[in-house]
Amino acid sequence: MRTTHAILTIVAVLSISCRRETREPLAGEVPSSHAERVRRGEYLAMVGGCNDCHTPGGMYGAADLSRRLSGSELGWQGPWGTSYPSNLTPHMETGIGRYSEDDIVKTLRTGKRPDGRPLLPPMPWPHYGNMSDADVYALAAYLKSLPPIEHRAPASLPPGQAGPPSLVFPAPPAWDVPRGAGVGGGPPPP
Ligand code: HEC
Instruction: Work out the angle between the directed axes of helices 34-47 and 133-145 (0-180°, nearest 10).
Output: 100
Question: Are the beta carbons of 111 and 129 closer than 8 angstroms?
Answer: yes
**Tens place of pLDDT for every residue, the chain, 190 residues?**
454 454 444 444 334 444 444 455 554 566 779 999 999 999 999 999 999 999 999 998 889 999 999 999 999 998 899 999 999 999 999 999 999 999 999 999 999 999 999 999 999 999 999 999 999 999 999 999 999 999 999 999 999 887 777 888 778 788 877 677 655 544 444 4
On whether residue 173 sits in a domain, the answer given is: no
Q: What is the pLDDT of residue 30?
A: 67
* Residue 120 Cβ < 6 Å to ligand 1: yes
- Domain residue limits at 117: 33-165
Q: Is 48 in the pocket of ligand 1 (CB under 6 A)?
A: yes
Amino acid (one-letter) located at 104: I
Question: Are residues 44 and 131 in contact, defined by beta-carbon separation less than 8 angstroms?
Answer: yes
Question: How far, in Å, CA of 178 to CA of 188, rounded?
Answer: 8
End-to-end CA distance of the chain: 51
Strand partners, 167: 76
Counted domains in the chain: 1
**Is 63 close to ligand 1, i.e. is its CB under 6 Å away?**
no
Enter the pTM of the model.
0.82
Residue 95 lies in a domain: yes
Q: What is the pLDDT of residue 24?
A: 54
Q: Which DSSP letter does residue 112 get?
A: B
The answer as to whether 116 is a domain residue is yes
